[in-house]
Amino acid sequence: MKRNLENQKENYTDWSELSLDYLSNKDILAMHLCLLKLIREANTFCNRELYLRYLYTRYLFSLQAHNAYMSHQMQSCMRNLEIRMYPSFLEKDIADLTGSCPTPKCNVHLMNSELDNATALGWILVSEAIASFSPHFLEKAQIIGFHETYGARHLAGTAALFNSRWRQTCIHANAMIRDGVAVDELQAAISRILRHLQMLAEKELKNG
């Protein structure tokens, strides 16, 4: 799988840019492979029904991740990282397929006060890792009839844009770690968030 990713790296964030001073490239690659495995196992881009389930999964996850982006500590530490409005993009994408905006099935919002620095940073790293696949996923979405203005707004953007976002995220993450975020706590947070995403995927993508 790693070889396949490297062969298609023009569709992803440049692997040479996947560098954190305090997290190894192996850690980052493992996170990306985990995310890609979830998508592939669910056959997300096989048909419209599975794609819609994927949209719901991304929507629920993005609502929680957005709280991290909007938290006080992230607003001050990552002020140069533009906040992409993934929840609103995904609401419109879902409405394209269903005719109405989604209503979360459960209370997925997390209070900003509940997010410690390691957890908030973990949410952003995982969210940006997911986003780095967008150019490749957009190509697959187009095969089943979706594009940047219909059903796949959340995937819009060039590889250069997502490369730039990942570089900015790494810069801010490194600064936060130097300022006191513990690497082991960040690694643990990333693991928890990936498990949470897997749970959402299993519920929405596999079980419907």
Q: Which residue has the higher pLDDT, 166 or 1?
A: 166
How many other CB atoms sit within 10 Å of the CB of residue 104? Answer: 12
| pLDDT band at residue 110 using 50, 70 and 90 as cut-offs | very low
What tokens does 51 get?
């794609």
Q: What integer pLDDT is reported at residue 143 of this predicted model?
A: 94
What does pTM read for this prediction? 0.81
How many other CB atoms sit within 10 Å of the CB of residue 101? Answer: 12
What tokens does 92 get?
């419109």
Q: What integer pLDDT is reported at residue 64 of this predicted model?
A: 87
Tens-place pLDDT, residues 160-169: 888 888 888 8
Q: What integer pLDDT is reported at residue 203 of this predicted model?
A: 82
How many other CB atoms sit within 10 Å of the CB of residue 158? Answer: 11
Q: Which residue has the higher pLDDT, 150 or 184?
A: 150
Taking residues 143-155, report their average pLDDT.
95
Q: What's the CA gap between 73 and 120, in Å, rounded?
A: 8
Q: What's the CA gap between 54 and 142, in Å, rounded?
A: 15
Q: What integer pLDDT is reported at residue 51 of this predicted model?
A: 93
Tens-place pLDDT, residues 62-76: 988 888 888 877 877
- Give me the amino acid identity at 176: M
Tens-place pLDDT, residues 88-108: 899 999 999 999 988 765 445
What tokens does 131 get?
């986003």
Q: What's the CA gap between 64 and 196, in Å, rounded?
A: 11
Q: What integer pLDDT is reported at residue 66 of this predicted model?
A: 85
Tens-place pLDDT, residues 113-137: 568 999 999 999 888 888 888 998 9
Q: What's the CA gap between 171 and 177, in Å, rounded?
A: 10
Q: What's the CA gap between 183 and 199, in Å, rounded?
A: 24
Taking residues 173-179, report their average pLDDT.
86
Q: Which residue has the higher pLDDT, 183 or 205?
A: 183
Cα 62 to chain centroid, rounded: 7
141-148, Cβ contacts within 8 angstroms, sequence gap of 24 or more? 141/45, 141/51, 143/45, 144/45, 144/46, 144/47, 144/48, 144/51, 145/48, 146/51, 146/93, 146/96
Walk me through the domains of the chain, giving residue ranges and CATH numbers. Answer: 48-206 (1.20.910.10)
Q: Which residue has the higher pLDDT, 4 or 156?
A: 156
Tens-place pLDDT, residues 16-60: 343 455 555 666 667 777 777 777 777 888 899 999 999 998 899
Q: What integer pLDDT is reported at residue 21 of this predicted model?
A: 56
Residue 208 has pLDDT above 60, yes or no: no
Residues contacting 99, CB < 8 A, separation 6+: none
